[in-house]
């Protein structure tokens, strides 16, 4: 999946499954954690979705909430600390 598709998938997931607010719109730079739009429980869900979307294993111990504050930061964090999943 290319970067644009990953971005769209994450935004769609957060809007539909995490925020659950009709008409809610976020962008790649919308502050999510620091603004209180998402809580620590949502961060865990988003991290799992991020792993699926990027096909990377992302160690929760290497990630802090600030690393997941925006969709851009999420994808950058996956690139920075993620390890490619083996395709078996």
The CATH number for 15's domain is: 1.10.1200.10
Q: Which residues in 59-88 are b (16+ Cβ under 10 Å) and which e?
A: eeeebeeebbbbbebbbebbeeebeeeeee
Residues 20 and 76: their CA atoms lie apart, in Å, by 25
Domain hosting 34: range is 3-84
With beta carbons less than 8 A apart as the criterion, state whether 33 and 71 touch.
Answer: no
pLDDT at site 29: 97
pLDDT at position 22 over 80: no
Q: CB–CB of 82/61 below 8 Å?
A: no
- Of the two residues 88 and 33, the one the predictor is more confident about is 33
Total number of domains in the chain = 1
Q: What is the pLDDT of residues 33-72, one digit of tens each?
A: 999 999 888 999 999 999 999 999 999 899 999 999 999 9
Q: Of residues 40 and 75, which shows the higher confidence score?
A: 75
d(CA 30, CA 59): 24
Q: Is the pLDDT of residue 5 over 70?
A: yes
């Amino acid at each position: 999946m290319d970067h644009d598709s990953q971005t769209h998938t994450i935004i769609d997931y957060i809007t539909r499954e995490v925020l659950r607010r009709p008409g809610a719109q976020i962008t790649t730079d919308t502050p999510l954690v620091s603004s209180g739009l998402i809580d620590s429980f949502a961060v865990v869900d988003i991290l799992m979705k991020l792993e699926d979307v990027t096909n990377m294993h992302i160690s929760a111990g290497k990630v802090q909430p600030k690393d997941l504050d925006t969709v851009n930061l999420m994808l950058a964090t996956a690139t920075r600390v993620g390890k490619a999943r083996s395709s078996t």
